[in-house]
């Protein structure tokens, strides 16, 4: 079941596969931003330090993860970050994220 078919927190929190997939994607995003930030400390991504810190929690302190925090990030923050990253990528090579 793709994440876009998950419409509410209850369904998300009860579907372990989707939940794990969301956490995995957030850890990949955090890792990518950590590497990008090392290459360019002036990279303009909202809350980049929080994203990187959350990645470390996902990977190293997973017992402290609150599923509601994962849900909030996915449903409220990712669209903003996608738009910011698309702007950055266009500046580098005219690419966009699909």
pLDDT of 43: 87
Those residues whose C-beta lies under 8 Å from the C-beta of residue 57, and which sit 6 or more positions away, are 64, 65
pLDDT tens digit at each of 98 positions of the chain: 456 678 889 999 999 998 999 999 999 999 999 999 999 888 889 899 999 999 999 999 988 899 999 999 999 888 888 888 888 888 776 555 55
Distance CA 37, CA 39 (A): 5
pLDDT of 82: 85
Helix (DSSP H) and strand (DSSP E) numbers for the chain = 5, 0
pTM here is 0.81
pLDDT of 53: 94
Distance CA 17, CA 4 (A): 14
């Amino acid at each position: 079941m793709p994440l876009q078919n998950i419409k509410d927190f209850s369904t998300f929190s009860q579907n372990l596969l989707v939940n794990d997939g969301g956490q995995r994607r957030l850890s990949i995003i955090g890792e990518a931003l950590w590497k990008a930030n090392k290459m360019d400390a002036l990279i303009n991504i909202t809350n980049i330090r929080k994203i990187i810190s959350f990645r470390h929690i996902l990977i190293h302190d997973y017992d402290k993860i609150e599923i509601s925090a994962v849900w909030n990030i996915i449903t409220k923050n990712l669209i903003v970050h996608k738009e910011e990253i698309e702007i950055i990528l266009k500046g580098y090579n005219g690419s966009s994220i699909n």
